[in-house]
């Protein structure tokens, strides 16, 4: 593990080492973490699939921020620096993968949808231990996991970060309160710049307009809320929508499913 800035505790570094050095192509990592725990910026020599059966993870890389609720997982290539913060108690069930194996199915950081099959495969790999028997169940599970990751649908849950201090202040406040209704001109006052400059910064730094970035941040927060038990009405309020039907239409437009389906997808799988 490579560590920069704030670092993981020595105990956590020690417990992760066997998973970074295992001879198997894929190994499962199962740990429960308390609310607010933050790993600090670090990287691993192996690729990871970060998944939680319950709770929400907020993962920051050098250039993007990702929200990872239980209906999704985050694929991280080997050596990508990142920090993980637990937004509530988190039951992490992650996978460590040899770089050459992981590159067969994915080469960039991305959030993917978790199918019922992939969820069960992750749990099964975690139950196998670090040095699972070769030419048996472990090999079959590893092959299926890789196939499912390769076929998984990528989701728009990554938001690019900014190196500009003016825009970064706005992005951080909007991430904390996505329902904030201030318009571009009001946010420009917060950033101590003009609305034209702020609009330009959104385009050049994030690849989105102000409205697009805010909408995606709002809907990502709504998905997180739905995945942890919120009703569609509550999720709409969290996302800053007055109208539940309007929220439903925007949610389906981004994720391809309704808020009710997103909530039912997690609870239906979790209760099995």
What does DSSP say about strands 47-61 and 72-76: parallel, antiparallel, or unpaired?
Answer: antiparallel
What does DSSP say about strands 2-3 and 47-61: parallel, antiparallel, or unpaired?
Answer: unpaired
Task: Tell me the per-residue pLDDT of 198-212, one tens digit each, with 9 for 90 and over.
Answer: 999 999 999 999 999
Across 73-90, average pLDDT: 92
Q: Report d(CA 42, CA 2) in Å as an integer.
A: 6
The CATH fold of domain 2-155: Jelly Rolls (2.60.120)
pLDDT at 184: 96
Domain parsing of the chain, residue ranges? 2-155, 162-270
Across 177-199, average pLDDT: 95
pLDDT at 255: 83
Task: Tell me the per-residue pLDDT of 92-144, one tens digit each, with 9 for 90 and over.
Answer: 999 999 999 999 999 999 999 898 899 999 999 999 989 898 888 999 999 99
pTM: 0.81
User: Of 79, 16, 89, 77, which Cα lies nearest the Cα of 52?
Assistant: 89
CATH number of 162-270: 1.10.10.60
Sorted by sequence, the CB contacts under 8 Å of residue 168 that are 6+ apart come out as 161, 162
How far does the chain reach from its first CA to its final CA, in angstroms? Answer: 35
Structure confidence at residue 270 as a pLDDT band (50, 70, 90): very low
Helices 165-176 and 210-227 meet at what angle, rounded to 10?
30
Percent of the chain with pLDDT over 90: 61
pLDDT at 5: 46
């Amino acid at each position: 593990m490579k560590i920069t800035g704030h670092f993981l505790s020595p105990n956590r570094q020690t417990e992760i080492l066997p998973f970074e050095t295992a001879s198997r192509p894929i190994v499962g990592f199962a740990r429960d973490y308390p609310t607010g725990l933050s790993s600090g910026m670090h990287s691993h020599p192996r690729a990871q699939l970060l998944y939680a059966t319950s709770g929400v993870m907020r993962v920051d890389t050098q250039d993007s921020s990702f929200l990872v609720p239980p209906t999704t997982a985050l694929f991280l290539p080997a050596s990508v620096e990142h920090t993980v913060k637990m937004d509530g108690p988190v039951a992490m069930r992650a996978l460590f993968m040899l770089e050459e194996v992981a590159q067969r199915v994915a080469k960039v950081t991305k959030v993917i949808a978790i199918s019922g099959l992939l969820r069960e495969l992750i749990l099964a790999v975690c139950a196998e231990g670090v040095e699972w028997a070769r030419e048996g169940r472990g090999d079959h599970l590893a092959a299926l996991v890789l196939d499912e990751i390769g076929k998984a649908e990528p989701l728009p849950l990554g938001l690019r970060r900014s190196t500009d201090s003016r825009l970064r202040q706005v992005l951080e406040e909007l991430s904390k309160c996505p329902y904030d209704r201030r318009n571009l001109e009001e946010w420009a006052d917060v950033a101590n710049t003009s609305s034209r400059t702020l609009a330009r910064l959104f385009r050049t730094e994030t690849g989105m307009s102000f409205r697009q970035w805010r909408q995606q941040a709002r809907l990502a927060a709504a998905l997180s809320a739905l995945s942890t038990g919120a009703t569609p009405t509550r999720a709409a309020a969290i996302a800053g929508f007055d109208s539940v039907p309007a929220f439903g239409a925007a949610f389906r437009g981004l994720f391809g499913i309704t808020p009710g389906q997103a909530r039912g997808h997690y609870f239906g799988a979790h209760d099995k």
